[in-house]
Amino acid sequence: MATQRGNSSPDGQQEGSTVRLRVIRLIATFLAAIPFAAVLNIFQDWLGDGISASQTGLLIGVLVLLAFLVYATMGTSSDTAREGQLTRAELRRMRESMEESFDEFRDRTGASIRYYPARRGTEARHLEQARTLYRKAGEVVEKARQGDEILAVNSFVEVFQQGSDPAIEELQKAYLRRIENRLLHGAVYHRLIQLPSLDVLDDRSLFLSDSIEPSYLEHYRRIVGLTANAPGQEASLDAVKAKYPISFVVVKRKNNGSVGGTIIWQVNEHIQVGALAETGHFQLTGIAIVEDTKGDVTDHFIDWFKELQRGGHRSLTTQDLRSREDQLPAA
């Protein structure tokens, strides 16, 4: 095996570069000291014999100190620049490593996530954000084909602010109609409503409709009517005992051996009103849409759905969805 003379490795090249840099800095330091020496000579000639040898030595010492400071400053600046280059290189490598990790996560799980806010920024932007949010949620529902499942979970344990914006209500109605349209195309639709207790349905003084927004109440009534009048349609609306304070929709693909699905995960925020905690309410702040081609994430949500069912469920009726206005005597 032939032996290479000299040091051509990256470390050897870096060391040679460092030595050359130090020689250049030293030469520059002496060149920078020449003006100081000239000033010293002029100063000494002007004073004549008025300056002693000890004072001359002091000035020479000051000159040497200044020369050292120039050398040290140049060295620090050079080191700082070199460290800055190293830092930028490290950050670049770190960013590349993170991107590789995200790519690996996406490749391994087959999942991606996108968040759509409902109330970010100024109030003037909220309506446009709501349009985007319900449109994207509707697009997810439209993916359901014959035999696919639409599994939904709501929670009515938390007190939600009732919407009063007609524009938002129309967006909700359009989204819910897209779900009903999927039923006509053979999709399966099951929705669970979480309640503090199933006994509340037997209390005639309580009205579940008080906690449901008008657009959803109409939708629920249509689903109940559909299950009663069209037994062939695979749809259900059940009440279950609350366990998970979340709301979500899963579109589970089952055609052609598909194992994945898409999740609409509702994100809520608590709004404090007044000093007492019980005076606050919840409201929608956004949704996260999770595309899950391999089913690793979807399966967890389906497990939660099935666990709620196993805890006991009760099919809702039109009587359960009655409103206070229905109880009023005719004028």
The torsion angle over the Cα atoms of residues 302, 306, 307 and 308, rounded to 10 degrees, is 110
Contacts of 243 (CB under 8 A, 6+ apart): 194, 307, 308, 311
pTM higher than the cut 0.85: no
Residue 204 shares a structural domain with residue 140: yes
Residue 152 lies inside a defined structural domain of this protein: yes
Per-residue tokens: 289 = 């849409």
Residue 331 lies inside a defined structural domain of this protein: no
Q: What is the pLDDT of residue 279?
A: 59
Residue 22 shares a structural domain with residue 170: no
**Total domains in the fold of the chain:** 2
Residue 6 lies inside a defined structural domain of this protein: no
Residue 176 shares a structural domain with residue 317: yes
What would the pLDDT profile of 117-136 be if each residue is shown by its tens digit? 988 877 788 999 999 999 99
Q: What is the pLDDT of residue 17?
A: 54
Residue 60 shares a structural domain with residue 147: no
CATH code: domain of residue 223: 3.30.870.10
Please say whether the beta carbons of 85 and 51 come within 8 A: no
**C-alpha distances in angstroms, 55 versus 33, 61, 69, 101, 157?**
19, 10, 21, 67, 89
Residues of the chain with pLDDT under 70: 1-86, 88, 91, 94-95, 98-99, 101-103, 105-106, 109, 157-164, 228-232, 256-258, 272-281, 327-331
Residue 311 lies inside a defined structural domain of this protein: yes
What are the two backbone dihedrals, phi and then psi, of residue 133, each rounded to the nearest 5 degrees? -60, -50
Q: What is the pLDDT of residue 157?
A: 67
Residue 3 lies inside a defined structural domain of this protein: no
Residue 24 shares a structural domain with residue 122: no
Q: What angle is formed at CA 323 by the lines to CA 224 and CA 155, rounded to 5 degrees?
A: 65
Question: How are strands ordered across the β-sheet holding 281-292?
Answer: 111-117, 281-292, 261-271, 248-252, 149-155, 188-195, 235-241, 313-315
Please say whether the beta carbons of 145 and 186 come within 8 A: yes
Residue 193 shares a structural domain with residue 242: yes
Distance of CA 306 to the CA centre of its chain: 27
Q: What is the pLDDT of residue 21?
A: 54
What residues make up the domain containing 146? 111-325
Which of the listed residues 87, 106, 125 is the one where a domain comes to its end? Answer: 106
Q: What is the pLDDT of residue 313?
A: 92
Which of the listed residues 106, 133, 149 is the one where a domain comes to its end? Answer: 106
Which of the listed residues 106, 132, 166 is the one where a domain comes to its end? Answer: 106
What would the pLDDT profile of 7-51 be if each residue is shown by its tens digit? 444 455 555 555 455 545 555 554 555 554 444 454 444 444 444
